Structure 1
Amino acid sequence: MRKPIIAVDMDDTICHLVKRAIYHNNSEFPTHTLRYEEMLDWNTDHLRHPKSTHDVFYGRPGLFEELELYDEYVVEEMEKLCNAFDVIIVTAAEPKTVVEKWNWLQRHMPFIPIENFFPCKRKNLINYDLLIDDGPHNLVPALEEGKKVLCIPHPWNLRVREQYEFPVMTSWQGAKERIDSILGVLYK
């Protein structure tokens, strides 16, 4: 019997991208500061400085290697998940960020092999049983396809969470047990 496949996003799911990008934005454009709570949409239309474009906000060289872990439990819980399930990392990436993301993953979670690392923006093209993600553009299609999801809550997915009532995971503490209960039917 095959193990269930758990697809896990990287940015703002196992590490904090937006908070770090805001830090750099506010350092570079102190007259046009941003706050995490104001990030109500997935796009970057909220950037206030004319020189702060999507490419500037997310394109700082080395940005993806300096991201902080989501919380103190994420590494331990991801390792538990990898021991029990077929865990794949499915992350949107531009060619210049793929190596940075892989380097970050190997520094923090070296137990994830390269064959389980998928740079892919359109996650609905990947086969999995459960998706852990923060992006509404990934969660909604997965749910509509009948797949199980766990949403990492952030301001940019609040409206969609209210509309779809996704199961939410605010901390990685106890993630393995929670996922066991969600996927229990797949073991039968």
Structure 2
Amino acid sequence: MKNNRLRVAIDMDEVIADTFAAQRLWYLDVHGYNWNDEELKGCHLGDLAAPEHAEAMQSVLHAGAFFAELGVMENAQDALKQLSQDFDIFITTAAMEYPASCGPKFQWLQKNFPFISPLNIVFCGHKNILAADYLVDDNVRHFHDFQGQGVLFSARHNQKVKWSPRVSNWRETVSYLTAQRLAKNP
């Protein structure tokens, strides 16, 4: 019997893991940067920092341990629990950008999303390899050549990016995906 459940691939950083807040705090604590929200709109933190400070942040990310203690995005846990009742959920992270992050990211997922099977966790490079109906991600570059529908999860760095559909938070994400499921399987 064929499984008729829709598949949803969900990114980690800036979608379920609050990488931005941790990086912002690091830049403040280590280098004294205290950017306001308006300065950050549409920017990556590394674009605003001195090149040597951005390079130091990249070294921290490449070491990997940084990813183990990130905060969880608001309502992400409840939303994924709810969605997992009607969808096949896969956590999909482009971890190959920072290979040493795989272990810390996996531990973070086990701690914060224990209801997601380890078999539904995908560490990859390009996300166009994913066989899913939807990809919820904060970066539109992951939608290129993806065969399903990309759903842009709003983040400070993508505020100037034009993409539809776009969701601003996990409540909107659940509403959007539920409406899509009902439209396809009335």
**TM bucket by the smaller chain?**
0.7 to 0.9
Structure with greater helix share of residues: 2
Q: Which amino acid aligns with 1:90?
A: T
Query: What is the distance in 2 between the residues matched to 1:133 and 1:121?
Result: 14
| Equivalent residue number for residue 153 of structure 1 | 154
**Unpaired runs of at least 5, structure 2:** none
> Is the partner of 2:159 in helix, strand or coil?
helix
> Is the partner of 2:171 in helix, strand or coil?
coil
> Is the partner of 1:151 in helix, strand or coil?
strand
CA positional deviation for 1:127: 0.9
Contact 1:8/1:132 (<8 A) preserved:
yes
Query: What is the distance in 1 between the residues matched to 2:40 and 2:90?
Result: 31
Q: Which amino acid aligns with 2:15?
A: T
| Equivalent residue number for residue 165 of structure 2 | 167
**Count of residue pairs the alignment pairs up:** 180
**Unpaired runs of at least 5, structure 1:** none
Contact 2:64/2:99 (<8 A) preserved:
no
After superposition, the C-alpha distances for 1:46-81 in whole angstroms (9 at most, x for unaligned) are: 33252431523534653111111110x211110121
Give the 4+ runs in structure 1 shifted more than 4 A: 32-37
Q: Please tell me whether residue 117 in structure 1 is matched to residue 121 in structure 2.
A: yes
CA positional deviation for 1:177: 3.7
CA positional deviation for 1:114: 1.1
If the length of structure 1 is used for normalisation, what is the TM-score?
A: 0.82
- Once superposed, what is the RMSD of the aligned Cα atoms? 2.4
Matches within 5 A, 1:94-109: 94-109=98-113
Aligned in 2, Cα 1:155/1:101: closer, same or farther, shift over 3 Å?
Answer: same
